[in-house]
Structure 1
Amino acid sequence: MPRAARVAQVVVDAIPTLYACALVAYDGTAYHGFQYQVGVPTIQGTLEEALQRFAEPVSRVVGAGRTDAGVHASGQVVAVRVRWRHSLESLLQAWNAHLPADISVRGLVQVPEGFHPRFSAVARTYRYWVYVDGTPATLPRPRRSPLTDRYALFEPRPLDVDRMNQAAALLRGQHDFATFGQPTQGDSTVRRVDQAEWQVVETNLTPLDPFPGQHLVFTVTANGFLRQMVRALVGALLEVGRGRWSLEMLESALQARDRSQAPPPASPAGLVLERVHYPPGLAPFDGGDGSVPGGARPA
């Protein structure tokens, strides 16, 4: 090896390798999901491309959740090993400077080698947003809401929220969710749902819209999710709220363990990965906003 090349290699080797964990938010509308795919924009691919423009990553960016195409996140957790001689703050600022406007690194911390964003997690929380149109029944009803369609499912008629919560209660606990999701090859379809609840989003603002709508949110926490499981569950719960499904029909579909028994999954637009949960002492972001000792967050 020529002397100049040896010197360059020594300089590179002198740069410490940082195992960094980032809290990431994104609007998934323009992306084909989190996981890298050749020839199409993905969250993982965009994070890696941005990092390569100013640093030297020595591993892939690994995420806690493989969100589907069109799904959003406010609390995705990713980790990457990167050669970096400067501060965490400068790494965070540089990364954000090279990312598009629909992806943001909200916080950054250094984590121990034993940490894995996906396999160290013990649970995940998703929220699904629904906008119920307020147009009176005496008028023709619209089919969309330009101000909410990007982040919520548009529902043209009122829903029975109490009935939907009764249905959601049937999902809590440990069940075989084969009807409502697709496992990775060889994986079990049994999951434990700790939280499943619909809420009406209240506001103190005086309504100025002549036909004010209603915002609903479904919060679900489980020790793991099958592919499209949240959207499939929401699709079934909405059928209950519309009066098309009874509680008995939902319970029967759950027990059938048959994918064909589920209604179509709800649109990805309303789904947000809100939080990834880790065991005490291993959670990189205690408050979910990057505010941890030794961490960095945007100024």
Structure 2
Amino acid sequence: MYHHRLVISYKGTSYFGWQDLGTGEQKPTVQASIHQILKKICNYQSCTISAASRTDAGVHAQGQVIKITIALAIESGKLLLGMNSLLPDDIRILQCKPCAAEFNPNKDSKSKEYHYYFCTDTIYNPVLNDTVAHIPSNSKASTTGSLDIELMQQACKLFIGEHDFYSFAKRDTNMSSTFRTIFSCEILQAQPSTFGNKIYYLKIVGKGFLRHMVRYIAGALFALGRNQLSLSDISEALVNHKEEKISSRAKSRGLHLIQICY
């Protein structure tokens, strides 16, 4: 068998997440789309795919890392060209190189970086609809559509370090621990764009993340920015398990997997 490490990018709008559902339902996933064309290239011989991150439905990736194992001997450069010629336009292989059989894209990763992009303009540019969330202020806030970004930035510091993120994740009975380590967390303004004047992003880097964890963190920050939560509410949720979430989770469309480091 031959093993390759790939870096891929995709727009998740049309997909029910990364992972093949395996239920017989005709719901497209990124993994299934790649598997389908890989089998064609390999003349329907055995091939497997594993990924560093199981992104949710509607989530995008600029630097997802996957490992493919195939029975066909093919040079990595030719495999990259062949896959890109068959893949749909919203999935692309950016890099492809041989790797060891022991390489595990998830367990071997040192850090994962996510960005959550959001626009606070009062009137939202529809061009951004699939990739940037629209987070206007509530009716009691400023008419400019701005959130309290400075307060949100203060709250970002609360997430840095090792914490129990039970209250900021979807329940998963298969998860042995809800403790995770966050290396950095901050709100940044995107470069000036013709698509919107006030586009920001939450940049968060960690060793690993629980399911929906980044979206619940983003949701809590947005609620804080609208004066619907306090800093103490977030601090308490990091200490005590909350069965009822302190905020709704942010929509998937603004979330992007940026890179994975090894």
TM-score greater than 0.5 by the shorter chain:
yes
Mapped contact 2:38–2:47 kept (Cα < 8 A):
no
Structure 1 segments, 4+ long, off by >3 Å, are: none
Q: Does 1:226 align with 2:218?
A: no
Query: Cα deviation per residue 1:187-216 (whole Å; 9 max; x = unaligned)?
Result: 20000110110011233x7x6x8xx53010
Query: Cα deviation per residue 1:214-240 (whole Å; 9 max; x = unaligned)?
Result: 010111011111100000000001111
Cα distance in 1, alignment partners of residues 191 and 20 from structure 2: 38
Mapped contact 1:180–1:259 kept (Cα < 8 A):
no
Deviation at 1:184? 5.4
Secondary structure of the residue that 2:63 maps to in structure 1? Answer: strand
Equivalent residue, structure 1, for 2:47: 59
Cα distance in 1, alignment partners of residues 173 and 46 from structure 2: 27
- 2:235 aligns with one of 245, 248, 251: 251
Mapped contact 2:67–2:104 kept (Cα < 8 A):
yes
**Number of residue pairs matched by the alignment:** 249
Cα distance in 2, alignment partners of residues 79 and 180 from structure 1: 29
Range with greater deviation from structure 2 (84-93 or 213-222): 84-93
Cα distance in 2, alignment partners of residues 180 and 249 from structure 1: 12
Q: Does 1:148 align with 2:96?
A: no
1:1-299 paired onto structure 2 within 5 Å: 17-37=1-21, 38-39=24-25, 40-56=27-43, 58-133=46-121, 135=122, 142=123, 144-156=124-136, 157-182=145-170, 183=172, 185-203=174-192, 213-278=197-262
Equivalent residue, structure 2, for 1:292: none
Range with greater deviation from structure 2 (257-266 or 193-202): 257-266
Amino acid at match of 1:260: E
Secondary structure of the residue that 1:202 maps to in structure 2? Answer: coil
Cα distance in 1, alignment partners of residues 63 and 250 from structure 2: 21
Larger Rg: 1
Amino acid at match of 1:92: L
Cα distance in 1, alignment partners of residues 73 and 154 from structure 2: 54
Mapped contact 1:53–1:98 kept (Cα < 8 A):
no
TM-score normalised per structure 2? 0.90
Amino acid at match of 1:155: I
Cα distance in 1, alignment partners of residues 63 and 48 from structure 2: 19
Range with greater deviation from structure 2 (227-236 or 240-249): 240-249
TM-score normalised per structure 1? 0.79
Q: Which runs of 5+ in 1 are unaligned?
A: 1-16, 136-141, 279-299
Over the matched positions of the two proteins, sequence identity in percent amounts to: 30
Secondary structure of the residue that 2:41 maps to in structure 1? Answer: coil
Mapped contact 2:113–2:260 kept (Cα < 8 A):
yes
Cα distance in 2, alignment partners of residues 195 and 105 from structure 1: 28
Secondary structure of the residue that 1:249 maps to in structure 2? Answer: helix
Kindly report the root-mean-square deviation, in angstroms, between the aligned alpha carbons of the 2 structures. Answer: 1.6
Mapped contact 2:135–2:222 kept (Cα < 8 A):
no
